[in-house]
Amino acid sequence: MNSTSPTSFDSLLLEHADDLLLLVDPQTQRICAANRATCTRLGYEHEQLLERPITDIGRSLADIFYWEEVAAGNIQEVESSEGLYRCADGSLFPVDERISLVDHDKRRWLLIRAHDITHQRDEKAHLESLTSLLRATLESTADGILVCDERGHLINMNQRFAALWQLPEDILARGDDGEVIAFMAGRQDDAEGYLARFADIIRLHEEHTLDTLELDSGQVLEQRSQPQYLEERIIGRVFTFTDITQRRAAERQLKQSEAAFRSLVEGSPDIIIRYDSDCRAVYVNQMLEVSTQLDRSMVLGQTPTGRVFEGDRDREHYEAALRQVIASGEPQEIEIQVRSREDEPRIHHVRMAAERGESGVVGALAFGRDITDIIRAEVELRIAAIAFESLEAIAITDAEERIIKVNRSFCRITGYSAEEALGKTPGQLLKSGRHDPMFYAEMWRALTYEKHWQGEVWNRRKNGDIYPEWLNITAVTDPAGRICNYVAAFSDISLHKKAEAEIHTLAFYDPLTALPNRRLLLDRLEHTMASSARNKRHGAVLILDLDRFKELNDTKGHNIGDLLLIEVANRLQECVRADDTVARLGGDEFVVILVDLGPNPRQAAAQAEIIAEKMRSAINRPFTLQSSEYHTSPSIGICLFGNQEISIDELLKRADTAMYQAKRSGRNTIRFFDPATHAAMEARIALDTDLRRALPEDQLLLYFQPQIEGSGRIQGAEALLRWQHPKQGMVSPLVFISLAEDTGLIVPIGQWVLETACRQLKAWENDSVSRYWSLAVNVSAHQFRQDNFVEHVLSIVEKTDIDPSLLKLELTESLVLDNVDDTIAKMQALKAAGICFSLDDFGTGYSSLAYLSRLPLDQVKIDQSFVRNIGVTGADEVIIQTILGMAENLGLEAIAEGVETEEQLEFLRRNGCTYFQGYLFGRPIPIDDFHNRHRTND
Rounded to an integer, what distance in angstroms lies between the CA atom of residue 859 and that of residue 748?
A: 26
pLDDT of residue 635: 93
How far is it, in rounded angstroms, from Cα 180 to Cα 154?
A: 9
Beta strand extents in 164-243 (DSSP E only): 209-214, 220-230, 233-243
Contact 417, 411 (CB under 8 A): yes
Query: pTM value?
Result: 0.40
> What is the pLDDT of the chain when averaged over all its residues?
84
Q: How many residues does the chain have?
A: 938
Strand order in the sheet with 30-34: 30-34, 20-25, 107-116, 92-104, 81-86
Name the E strands within 432-580.
Answer: 452-460, 466-477, 483-492, 539-546
pLDDT of residue 575: 94
| pLDDT tops 60 at residue 136 | yes
**pLDDT-derived band at 391, boundaries 50, 70, 90:** low
Q: What is the band of 26 on the pLDDT scale with cuts at 50, 70, 90?
A: confident
Closest CA to 456 of 499, 399, 425, 494: 494
Dihedral, CA atoms, 311, 317, 319, 322, nearest 10 degrees? -150
Mean pLDDT of 527-549: 90
Buried b (16+ CB within 10 A) or exposed e, 378-400: eebeeeeeeebeeebbbbbbeee
pLDDT value, residue 4: 39
Higher pLDDT, 122 or 320: 320
pLDDT reported for residue 595:
93
What percentage of the chain reaches a pLDDT higher than 90? 27
Q: For residue 700, is pLDDT > 60?
A: yes
Tens of pLDDT, residue by residue over 268-315, are 678 888 888 888 888 888 777 777 767 777 778 778 865 667 677 887
- Read off the pLDDT band of 379 (50, 70, 90): low
pLDDT in tens, 202-219: 888 888 899 999 998 889
Q: Which residues are registered as beta bridge partners of 540?
A: 594, 640
Among 398, 421, 401, smallest CA distance to 411 is for 421
* pLDDT tens profile 847-878: 556 667 788 999 999 988 899 999 888 888 88
Most confidently modeled of 144-158, 290-304, 559-573? 559-573
pLDDT confidence bin for 54, thresholds 50/70/90: confident
Res. 915 pLDDT band, cuts 50 70 90: very high
Question: For 133-142, 519-528, 565-574, 777-786, which range has the lowest pLDDT when averaged over its residues?
Answer: 133-142
pLDDT of residue 8: 46
For 247-256, how does the pLDDT look when each residue is reduced to its tens digit (9 = 90+)?
A: 888 888 878 7
Q: What is the largest CA-CA distance in the chain?
A: 171
**Residue 680 — φ and ψ, nearest 5°?**
-65, -40
pLDDT band at 22 (very low <50, low <70, confident <90, very high): confident
Kindly indicate the confidence band of residue 66, based on its pLDDT and cuts at 50, 70 and 90.
Answer: low
Of 706, 713, 735, nearest in space to 722 by CA: 735
Give Cα separations from 185 to 192, 199, 239, 326 (angstroms).
Answer: 7, 12, 15, 61
Best mean pLDDT range from 325-329, 335-339, 680-684: 325-329
**Residue 401 pLDDT greater than 90, yes or no:** no
Q: Which helix (H) or strand (E) holds 859?
A: strand 859-862
